[in-house]
Amino acid sequence: MIMKYNFDEVVDRKGTYSCKLDQMPEGAPSDALSVWVADMDFACAEPIIRALHERIDRKIFGYTIYDNEDLKHAVTGWFKRRYDWEVAKEDVFFSPGVVPALAFLLQALTNEGDGIIIQRPVYYPFTNKINGNNRKIFNSSLIYENGDYRMDYEDLEKKFADEAVKGMILCSPHNPVGRVWTVEELGRLVEIAKKYGKWIISDEIHMDLTRKGVVHTPLLKVAPEYADHIVVCTAPSKTFNLAGMQLSNIVIPNKEWQKKWLGVIDDAFSVSMANPFGIAATIAAYNEGEEWLDQLRDYLDENIRFVKEFVKEQLPKASVTAVEGTYLIWLDLNGYESDPKKLEKLMQETARIAFDEGYIFGEEGNGFERINAAMPKRNVEDCMNRIKKALDTLN
């Protein structure tokens, strides 16, 4: 029997030490509508909750092995069922998150001063981790044209050709612009990297959250012949709202890189062991969570459809990108206010909304707001009405 999930339910998160609610962006009022950090305001799938209760009932929560058959079977089984992607269990490695994984990989594969390509506007921890590890950013801005984004392959080739550049961090699907790169787009990117012998780390944390009918293709499936130069970072965290479990699954086919990875996370930092709840939740999510995910995607599609129609009808000087993947809406408000600080002030003080402001994703994001649409429909409606009322004060 298929369980019907209620995504309209407003879950009380007070008292849970929620980053999203209790750690607002600087300047945001404490009572602001929180649509900033990318976690969902939906209850987790029942099989996950049940698995966690069962694990708690075992009463002991000691050191727990990540490299176990049940977990690896669940992870690789998910890849095979959802993407027809064959991944060897021995190529899957633990990280406490995708962002930590990026830092670990920079430590393993590069030296201080080495160049890394990113594509702004892009998830801001890419910038933070490169700078924080004393590496150099080579930005190849996405081309924004007719309300959507594409890669600048001519510029990418120039960047890859630079001897200082060692590789690229790719966002796929792209956060915040919502693009799900096609096989052809990814294939062209790999061909350029291959031409210059450079690696690609592909952050695919939003891979499961495409619109119905839109297909995500893992980079390693696009270019298996170049597998020794590719790492794919995945996690159940965005898909199943499990970010606090701090468990990600990093696919590293290159055997020498596997040794370097373990040298960093185990020998250098001793963070190679997952917590028991993360393991229990991940196994349940990947083995029993597909019904919940399919219903979630339907609900997200409707939320995103509502926002697009609202913008079209109520905000004629604004636009929204295609949002092929993620649950994040990239709203272009440059037609109303292009100064990023003035826009931030308007949204925080007049609309009383806490956003991840567009400018934090790079100057290419000036005049944009990123809306987290993974919340009950009434909250999405409230968010859009607040935005409109605030923008109306500019007239």
Q: Is residue 55 part of a domain?
A: no
Classify strands 328-332 and 368-372 as parallel, antiparallel or unpaired: antiparallel
- Asked if residue 294 belongs to a domain, the reply is yes
Which one, of 167, 181, 83, 176, lies nearest residue 130 by Cα? 167
> Helix axis angle, 46-56 relative to 276-288, nearest 10°?
150
- What pLDDT is recorded for position 231? 98
232 and 116 in a common domain = yes
How many distinct structural domains can be found in the chain? 2
Q: Are residues 310 and 214 in the same domain?
A: no
The pLDDT of residue 267: 94
User: Sign (positive/negative) of CA torsion 117, 220, 274, 240?
Assistant: positive
CATH number at residue 323: 3.90.1150.10
State which amino acid sits at residue 327.
Y
38 and 137, same domain (yes or no)? no
Q: Which domain holds residue 69?
A: 61-287
Q: Is residue 11 part of a domain?
A: no
Specify the pLDDT at position 100.
98
Chosen domain end from 269, 287, 305: 287
Domain annotation covers residue 377: yes
Which pLDDT score is estimated for 395? 73
Residue 199 domain-assigned? yes
Domain shared by 210 and 114, yes or no: yes
Rounded CA separation 115/199 (Å): 12
Q: What is the SS3 assignment for 143?
A: strand
- Assess whether 201 and 312 both reside in one domain: no
CA dihedral for 342, 343, 346, 352, sign (positive or negative): negative
Asked whether residue 149 falls in the same domain as residue 295, the answer is no
Q: Give the whole-angstrom CA distance, residue 43 versus residue 158.
A: 46
Residue 132: C-alpha distances to residues 51, 96, 100, 106 (Å): 37, 18, 12, 10
Q: Give the list of residues 6+ apart from residue 308 with CB closer than 8 angstroms, or none.
A: 320, 323
On whether the CB atoms of residues 231 and 252 are closer than 8 A, the answer is: yes
CATH number for the domain spanning 248: value is 3.40.640.10
Query: What is the pLDDT at residue 375?
Result: 98
355 shares a domain with 238:
no
* Global model pTM greater than 0.85: yes
Domain match, 228 and 374 both: no
User: Beta strand 353-354 with 33-34: parallel, antiparallel or unpaired?
Assistant: parallel
Q: Is 179 exposed, middle or buried (0-12, 13-18, 19+ CB in 10 A)?
A: buried
Clarify whether residues 130 and 267 are in a common domain: yes
Mean pLDDT by 10 residues, the chain (395 residues): 91 93 92 96 98 98 97 98 98 98 98 98 98 98 96 98 98 98 98 98 98 97 98 98 98 98 96 96 98 98 98 98 97 98 98 98 98 98 98 92
Closest to 342 in 3D by CA, of 323, 322, 324, 369:
369
Q: Based on the domain organization, do 107 and 246 belong to the same domain?
A: yes
User: Are 318 and 239 within one domain?
Assistant: no
- Given a contact cutoff of 8 angstroms between Cβ atoms, the answer to whether 43 and 16 are in contact is no
Residue ending a domain, among 249, 270, 287, is 287
Is 155 found in the same domain as 264?
yes
Q: What is the pLDDT of residue 2?
A: 80
Name the DSSP class of 30: T
